[in-house]
Structure 1
Amino acid sequence: MTYETTRRTVLLATGATGATALVAACGGGGDDSGSTSTQSPTGEKTTSGPAGQALADIDEIPVGGGKIFKDEKVVVTQPEEGQLKAFSAICTHQHCLLSTVSDGTINCPCHGSKFKIADGAVAHGPATQPLPAEQITVEGNSIRLA
């Protein structure tokens, strides 16, 4: 007697734990969401929201501070008047979503890592890697993902 092994057979045979692992492993490789992927200097892949998406107007980004866009997982800062920077809003320590921008740093709520608003460099650990830069463009007064 021969048996044809199907995904359903494997899922039934592996139980809940195995099924969870298999379903996670079966995640599609393709992505039609319009998101962009970049690779950080550390080799980690980061994903931001749809390219060309308007994030904010320039006047929404405080000079000496910044704003976190949670849905897009991007933080935009303005270290000096007219100087706009963008970084991944995912902490390089344990991949928590960054939560605030204050006193010249972008702050992680999970373990206290802080990153400089000017270049994404680590200002305070436990993170040891800087935030990967994200690409933005400015069209008129509008800041967009590149």
Structure 2
Amino acid sequence: MRGHLALLVALLAAPLAAAQSPDVPDAIEAVPLDDPSLRPLPPEARDRDIVEVAAGAVLRALDKVSGEVVELYVPSGETKDFGLISISVGECRFPRGNPAGDAYAWVEVRTPARGTTDFQGWMIASSPALNALDHARYDVWVMRCISA
């Protein structure tokens, strides 16, 4: 019982200590889509040898109302429309020497009619739920990178 209590106290104290540390930022700032040099890679990509940058990404999009599913080929820096949303790809990266391998794509999903950005960040092909679009009508996820 004492071991469990000590573990619980340690787990509760760690976030509190981190919050009081001057090295921990108060908030994470959004990174602009148009500045690829500032985009941080997700932690999963930093642990692997991800250095190849592709010409774009293949995305799959689902309209949950109509049931329509499409594959979109979106070159880097371009935007494609699907239903009421616009999907942009900043860049797509994949493991060196393995273009068919796991894709990491910087994606922005907007609803132009409302003037809102519904999603902006890295999507990972092998873990689509890790950083997913949260939209009432649409789902979008990365399939793979487009080779040059």
Question: What TM-score do you get using the length of structure 2 for normalisation?
Answer: 0.30
Q: Which has the larger radius of gyration?
A: 1
Question: What TM-score do you get using the length of structure 1 for normalisation?
Answer: 0.30
